Amino acid sequence: MEEASSSSEVKALPLPPQHQVFVNFRGEELRNSFVSHLRSALVRHGVNIFIDTNEEKGKPLHVFFQRIEESRIALAIFSVRYTESKWCLNELVKMKECMDKGKLLIIPIFYKVKAYEVRYQKGRFGCVFKNLRNVDVHKKNQWSEALSSVADRIGFSFDGKSDEHNFINGIVEEVKEALSKILLDKTKDAFVYHSKNNSMSVGREKHEIYGLKQRLEELKEKLDLDCEETRILGVVGMPGIGKTTLAREIYETLRCKFLRHGLIQDIRRTSKEHGLDCLPALLLEELLGVTIPDIESTRCAYESYKMELHTHKVLVVLDDVSDKEQIDVLLGRCNWIRQGSRIVIATSDKSLIQDVADYTYVVPQLNHKDGLGHFGRYAFDRHSNIHNNEVIMKLSKEFVHYGRGHPLVLKLLGADLNGKDEDHWKTKLATLAENSSHSIRDVLQVSYDELSQVHKDIFLDIACFRSEDESYIASLLDSSEAASEIKALMNKFMINVSEDRVEMHDLLYTFARELCRRAYAQDGREPHRLWHHQDITDVLKNIEEGAEVRGIFLNMNEMKREMSLDSCTFKSMCGLRYLKIYSSHCPQQCKPNNKINLPDGLNFPLKEVRYLHWLEFPLKEIPPDFNPQNLVDLKLPHSKIERIWSDDKHKDTPKLKWVNLSHSSNLWDISGLSKAQRLVFLNLKGCTSLKSLPEINLVSLEILILSNCSNLKEFRVISQNLETLYLDGTSIKELPLNFNILQRLVILNMKGCAKLKEFPDCLDDLKALKELILSDCWKLQNFPAICERIKVLEILRLDTTTITEIPMISSLQCLCLSKNDHISSLPDNISQLSQLKWLDLKYCKSLTSIPKLPPNLQHLDAHGCCSLKTVSNPLACLTTAQQIYSTFILTNCNKLERSAKEEISSFAQRKCQLLLDAQKRCNVSSLISFSICCYISKIFVSICIFLSISMQNSDSEPLFSICFPGSELPSWFCHEAVGPVLELRMPPHWHENRLAGVALCAVVTFPKSQEQINCFSVKCTFKLEVKEGSWIEFSFPVGRWSNQGNIVANIASEHVFIGYISCSKIFKRLENQYFSSSNPTRSTQSSKCSPTKASLNFMVIDGTSELPRIEVLKCGLRFFKGVGSSGNYLKKLEVKEAEQNLSAEKVSEDWTYGSSSRCNHAVKTCPEQRQVTVTAEVEASPEKADNAEFQIKITPREAQPQPQPRPCSKTLKWACFTCCDFQKHL
């Protein structure tokens, strides 16, 4: 390696060896000419340059790769014959690899070739490359990718006509400047060099691109090569999401299936640098290999080559399309495209392809797993052990979460963090929310710069109101084209609308805020939107600086001290549209946090304001010089306002739609809103000085909130179009006579209207009413007469009232009667309320009996009904179609008679069987409610996790649960134990019984003196031995109880908790994983005819911790088998089996001895007997005659006279599956 020159400049700033400059070039073409001159110039300036002649002879060629890794800068000199050298190309691939990791800066030099010829391998440069022979396709793709990526950087171009000496001097100065930057920042290990347009190439082999396989399959499905029609597919997504990578990969994957194919990359830049007319020439060169010298005639080029183009189907991939004209120029009228061709257009603007593409594919974000892998590819070196650091891995997940599956962002973040220590990672993560990295910002800037000024303003405005309703934002934008402008930004993936809410990616949101702050810092003429409290306070103090302010969003929680404003502070802000002074400390404002004072009042002569939100507004009224002609949303919560504006100043508010004056305790007059004819929402909650409503007619008002207006004694209808009305906590004694005109009223809340004595007889006139809340109206004695026209009321809450006559409304789904001491019984025909799902009877202390309940009831809560003695037989109508989660709570009903408890137990038994039958008939996904699906999903996830590590708890709600006072286990439980632990020995081959459900029972005792418990759960932990000494465990919920009211109460005495859990899939998974005879390596249990140990541990928990003072006295278990079906259409057939397996019979004898059962199941007791006659019951449901499911129940029958059957013992340690036959116990 040559020594550097010893000039004084070099001595003052020596360059260490690792800062060498590697030169990559075609030796035969340039060594003795251009490269020789360049080398001399660099050496003269003290640059540590490396070229191939510096290396010692005799070393392997791969040593050059090591020299590339040692360098900080590389010069890639592209010439016409560059690609003749495969070694040059291999060096370039290595250089690109180092560049992608942020460890090398590559400066391209285009020597008598054009940049786009190198980038796309066109012209003479491209011909040389295409003529390479005996090259692996994969290797050639790597070379092409490296050429495209490196040529995409800013470099130097020499056309042979200018002065070469000056050209070389320019290169030398650029190299010296780059080296100086590296020296000044020795801690900067990663140096990523980006071009102005920041076009980034993923540059990875196929197997290294996370998530690519799935996306390619989805693209292939949409392209459907078997279809004979031409298909044009648009590939769309936000910048950096991976469209270019996907377009390139689909091209490489499918090109072999077409005789003619073409990939045109970076159309955005090409058309900008060389004009639109060059595009058809590029495409024709790709498809036909022809070169069109006359660029101006290319618009007609397709007509000239139409015959030739029609001879074959084509595959055309157009990448990075940014304008509709580009598509028009490239595809023309599409009449040159042969039927069956495939066209792929990748763009960040979906609107460009709406009239062109047959199908659109939106490139999805990476899922968390792929995102983590993609991030790790760039964050960790291949041989680094830092990924074993738990803190680093946790931080990695945080970075991946921040990136939201955006591949380019994850790549740039990973490259920036590569090699950094833990503290740097933490600092970087803490600053990301406020300041994105330069590389990310530059990528997003490209898309932002292409927006029109109108769309730029709208994008930044939307960032101020992220996650708001689309209609709300459209109103604030106050434009006749607001909807179409929002749609335009959606098409460009700058925003998205989800469930009618306008959302913005975190990256774009941070980018928008940075744009706003930069615009203010540069003091440009663009409108300012101020977010940072320091910027805002500077503007508020300097009155003259407010002319360009468009929005102020001041979080008082960020202010360190209070601030007083001059009365003329806002006078110069004639363009102010959005003013928000708020506090993020507490949305309920539990503590005053006002830090803005107006000692001299406020001049507010503004007319452009759309949004005015001022928390704790300190004035008694809005300044009279304010012009609300453009005001859309007025929020003055917790203010000192007494009225909106003076009586003689009833101002026109033609655009006002939303008003929030909640908790303005001094407000007594709202007549200033009389001209707000478009007002749809009015919140006056907590305005305690408000005594009545004025005589105004707000024709558009839909939502009126008067909650806790404690001095409001009279309600006046101020809009016939009300849909939601909150009068809870007011002093209203009666509703007006014209209340029946509220034909559109859906929700009426009068909770806590303690002075309300009667409800008007107009309920049948409120045809849209779905929810009526009269809770805590304790003077309300009578409910209005019920008319058959009431068909939509679903929720009726009459808790803490004195109503004795229960309304029977057929449409009711939820009925709350709790804390009513006057109800002694329910209507006998309550079972006819077929829609009723929720019945709340808590603390109905006079209730003595419960009649038959409706068939679809999911929740009954009768806790604390201390006079309840009897229940119906059956407790509720049971139908075979019942497939929903349900729970019945009868805790602290301590006067229940024994017969009532037995009926409750019998009901639970039938309920379990009906749920089992529902499982037999239906697919799990369609037979139960969404909540149960979620429960089962959690169970399955837990199983999968355990099978790899250990079984996780899956606490959830049981499919059915019931609890009631009692100290004995129901008789239908086959296995029982004293105490919280039940141990079993599962018989050999138990897993072949196709268990579908488990009923669990626990008798729980509560101490007389106990601390207040608001919530607890009864849980059972099931442990199963799968190998000798190896156990698995998972939890089953049995039941839970919670005190949802304000009454201080605990459960007294002993209570029985019963829960049914569907577990067929769990046991099936366990069988496959541990008991499969086809795979004896899984478990020794599968290969031996031996029992399996199992134990169940019941406990009472509060959240996650066990409650030691609450004791489980007894516990029980019953299995339910999952084959066959029950009902009224059963056929029984007898089948004889010649002989049982001798060994199996012996085992059967072993677990028969010593039993003392209460079930009349015939079991074999004579060990000498060898021949048996077996009776099998085969049950089939005629409902599925074509595909009947059969249940075979084998009952040994003695050939000799049979002895009296000995019942199976409930306390025996062997699990009884014969008792799973429910019909035996009915």
Q: What pLDDT digit, counting tens, does each position of 181-199 carry? A: 665 443 333 333 333 333 3
pLDDT of residue 1085: 46
pLDDT at residue 1046, rounded to an integer? 57
- Kindly state the average pLDDT of the residues 157-168: 86
Q: Which amino acid is residue 650, in one-letter code?
A: H
**Which segment, 582-591, 920-929, 1027-1036, is predicted with the most confidence on average?**
1027-1036
- Mean pLDDT for the stretch of residues 263-282: 86
- One fold for both 8-184 and 212-362? yes
Reported as a pLDDT band with limits 50, 70 and 90, residue 1138 is: very low
Average pLDDT of the segment spanning 913-929: 59
The gap from C-alpha 110 to its chain's centroid, in whole angstroms, comes to 48
Which pLDDT score is estimated for 379? 87
Q: How confident is the model at residue 1175 (pLDDT cuts 50, 70, 90)?
A: very low
**Do β-strands 73-78 and 156-158 pair in parallel, antiparallel, or remain unpaired?**
unpaired
End-to-end CA distance of the chain: 97
SS3 at position 622: coil
Asked if the model's pLDDT at residue 13 lies above 80, the reply is no
Q: Tell me what pLDDT residue 891 has.
A: 93
Instruction: Give residue 488's pLDDT band: very low, low, confident or very high (50, 70, 90).
Output: very high
Give just the sign of the alpha carbon dihedral 614, 620, 622, 625.
negative
pLDDT of 76 = 94
If one compares 236 and 438, the residue with the highest pLDDT of the two is: 236
Query: Where are the alpha helices (H) located in 289-389, listed in sequence order?
Result: 301-304, 306-309, 324-331, 368-379
pLDDT at 524: 58
Note the pLDDT of residue 728. Answer: 96
pLDDT band at 749 (very low <50, low <70, confident <90, very high): very high
**What is the spatial distance between Cα 131 and Cα 81, in angstroms, rounded to a whole number?**
12
Predicted local distance difference test score (pLDDT) of residue 560: 86
CATH architecture of the region 451-526: Orthogonal Bundle (1.10)
Which candidate, 717, 741, 715, 740, places its Cα nearest to that of 730? 715
- The mean pLDDT of 509-518, rounded to a whole number, is 88
In 1006-1148, beta strands by DSSP E: 1015-1027, 1030-1042, 1054-1062, 1092-1102, 1105-1106, 1111-1121
Q: What single DSSP character describes residue 1183?
A: G
Task: Give the model's pLDDT for residue 219.
Answer: 93
For the chain, give the longest Cα–Cα distance: 119
Write out the two tokens for 1013: 């418990």
pLDDT per position as a tens digit, 1069-1112: 666 555 555 544 444 444 456 667 889 999 999 877 888 888 99
Distance CA 970, CA 76 (A): 85
Per-residue pLDDT band at 1023 (split at 50, 70, 90): confident
SS (H, E, C) 724-793: EEECCCCCCCCCCHHHHHCCCCCEEECCCCCCCCECCCCHHHCCCCCEEECCCCCCCCECCCCCCCCCCC
Asked whether residue 1163 carries a pLDDT value surpassing 50, the answer given is no
Question: Which of 496-505, 947-956, 959-968 has the weakest average pLDDT?
Answer: 947-956
422, 421, 398: which is closest to 410 by C-alpha? 398
**CATH superfamily of the domain spanning 8-184:** Toll/interleukin-1 receptor homology (TIR) domain (3.40.50.10140)
Q: Which two tokens stand for residue 692?
A: 């009545």
What average pLDDT does the segment 872-878 reach? 88
Write down the pLDDT at residue 1049: 66
What is the per-residue pLDDT for 1050?
73
pLDDT in tens, 226-246: 999 999 999 999 888 999 999
Query: Looking at 291-300, 405-414, 1110-1119, which range is the least confident one?
Result: 291-300
Q: How far is CA 1154 from the centre of its chain?
A: 57
Q: Which of 1044, 577, 1016, 476 is nearest to 775 (CA)?
A: 1044
| Least confident piece of the model among 416-430, 672-686, 917-931 | 917-931
- pLDDT value of residue 942: 33
Burial classification of residue 348, based on how many CB atoms lie within 10 Å of its CB (0-12 exposed, 13-18 middle, 19 or more buried) = buried
Question: Which has the closest alpha carbon to 321: 241, 245, 235, 249?
Answer: 235
Angle CA 825–826–827, to nearest 5 = 125
The Cα–Cα gap between 187 and 184 comes to 9
Helix axes 63-70, 86-100, angle to 10 degrees: 30
Sorted by sequence, the CB contacts under 8 Å of residue 185 that are 6+ apart come out as: none
> What is the distance between the alpha carbons of residues 1054 and 1111, in angstroms, rounded to a whole number?
9
Q: What is the mean pLDDT of the chain?
A: 79
| Residue pLDDT, tens place only, 43-78 | 887 788 888 877 767 677 777 888 888 888 999 999
Range in 381-390, 437-446, 673-682 with the lowest mean pLDDT: 381-390
Average pLDDT over residues 715-740: 94
Q: How confident is the model at residue 1221 (pLDDT cuts 50, 70, 90)?
A: very low
- Of the chain, the percentage scoring pLDDT greater than 90 comes to 42
Residue-level pLDDT at 285? 84
**Residue 507: strand, helix, or coil:** helix
Residue-level pLDDT at 1164: 33
- What's the rounded mean pLDDT across residues 129-148? 85
How big is the chain by its Cα radius of gyration, in Å?
40
The H-or-E segment that residue 68 falls in is helix 63-70
pLDDT digits (tens, 9 = 90+) for 1041-1070: 887 665 656 787 899 999 998 876 666 666
Please, which pLDDT band fits residue 1141 given cuts at 50, 70 and 90? very low
The DSSP letter of residue 963 is E
Q: Who has greater pLDDT, 307 or 882?
A: 307
pLDDT for residue 548 = 86
Look at residue 882 in the predicted model and tell me its pLDDT.
52
Spell out the domain ranges in the chain: 8-184, 212-362, 451-526, 917-1121, 1142-1225
332: tokens are 């023309």
Percentage above 70 pLDDT, the chain? 78
- Using alpha carbons, select from 594, 591, 552 the residue that is nearest to residue 575: 552
pLDDT of residue 930: 35
CB 998 within 8 A of CB 1061: yes
Q: pLDDT higher for 1171 or 774?
A: 774
Helices (H) and strands (E) in the chain — how many of each? 31, 44
CB of 835 closer than 8 Å to CB of 812: yes
Q: What pTM did the predictor assign?
A: 0.73
Instruction: Give the C-alpha separation, 753 to 674, whole Å.
Output: 27
Report pLDDT for 412: 87
Amino acid 40: pLDDT: 84
Alpha-carbon span 735 to 763, nearest angstrom: 12
Which of the residues are catalytic?
A: 91
1222 — phi, psi (to 5°)? -65, -35
pLDDT at residue 347 in the model = 95
Please check the confidence at residue 158 and state whether its pLDDT lies above 80.
Answer: yes
> Who wins on pLDDT, 585 or 1139?
585
Q: What pLDDT is attached to residue 333?
A: 81
Amino acid at 1029: G
* Torsions phi, psi for 846 (to 5 deg): -100, -5
- The model's pLDDT over 643-663, given as tens digits with 9 standing for 90+, comes to 998 765 678 999 999 999 999
The reported pLDDT for the residue numbered 1140 is 31
Angle formed by the axes of helices 438-449 and 407-417, nearest 10°:
150
Mean pLDDT of the 308-317 span? 91
* Per-residue pLDDT tens digits for 96-126: 988 888 888 999 999 999 888 898 888 888 8
pLDDT in tens, 779-797: 888 888 776 778 899 999 9
User: 434 near 510, Cβ under 8 Å?
Assistant: yes
The 3 state secondary structure assigned to 556-574 is HHHCCCCEECCCCCCCCCC
Beta bridge mates, 870: 849
Over range 543-554, report the average pLDDT.
Answer: 86
CA distance 453 to 1116: 73
Give the model's pLDDT for residue 7: 30
Give the per-residue pLDDT at 666: 96
212-362: which CATH architecture? 3-Layer(aba) Sandwich (3.40)
Q: What is the pLDDT of residue 860?
A: 95
Identify the helix (H) or strand (E) that includes residue 281: helix 278-288
